Amino acid sequence: AQSVTQLGSHVSVSEGALVLLRCNYSSSVPPYLFWYVQYPNQGLQLLLKYTSAATLVKGINGFEAEFKKSETSFHLTKPSAHMSDAAEYFCATLGRRALTFGSGTRLQVQP
């Protein structure tokens, strides 16, 4: 079964610093991978997706992720954190019938 694991339930960075949120996948076939963001009291919003095309995927709000098959990873990065990036981030993959999510990483941005 396809699954994803997010390393670190909480990540804290300073404003302007690099954001790195980690996600590793487990799949016997080329996976579809996604990153979602959830702001307080709001629904999940798709940041970006990997669907077996380019390995470096650019998303909204300046985020990007690189698919690395050798490391079975799909880490999310942003060069410079903004206060508005504080939220919960979920890595996900495509399961049998629907999306399968990681446990989430809460990003805190310090002024």
Partner 1 sequence: GAVVSQHPSRVICKSGTSVKIECRSLDFQATTMFWYRQFPKQSLMLMATSNEGSKATYEQGVEKDKFLINHASLTLSTLTVTSAHPEDSSFYICSARDGPGTEIYEQYFGPGTRLTVT
Q: Which residues bind partner 1 (CB under 8 A)?
A: 9, 32, 34, 36, 41-46, 49, 90, 92, 94-95, 97-104
Choose between 6 and 73: whose C-beta lies nearer to partner 1.
6
Choose between 52 and 80: whose C-beta lies nearer to partner 1.
52
Helix H, strand E, coil C: the string for the chain is CCEEEEECCEEEEECCCCEEEEEEEECCCCCCEEEEEECCCCCEEEEEEECCCCCEEECHHHCEEEEEHHHCEEEEEECCCCHHHCEEEEEEEECCCCEEECCCEEEEEEC
What is d(CA 34, CA 99) in angstroms, rounded to the nearest whole number? 9
Cβ(5)–Cβ(22) under 8 Å? Answer: no
Choose between 22 and 49: whose C-beta lies nearer to partner 1.
49
Query: Least distance to partner 1 from the beta carbon of 89, Å?
Result: 12
Query: Least distance to partner 1 from the beta carbon of 42, Å?
Result: 5
Query: Least distance to partner 1 from the beta carbon of 48, Å?
Result: 12
Choose between 16 and 51: whose C-beta lies nearer to partner 1.
51
Query: Least distance to partner 1 from the beta carbon of 104, Å?
Result: 6
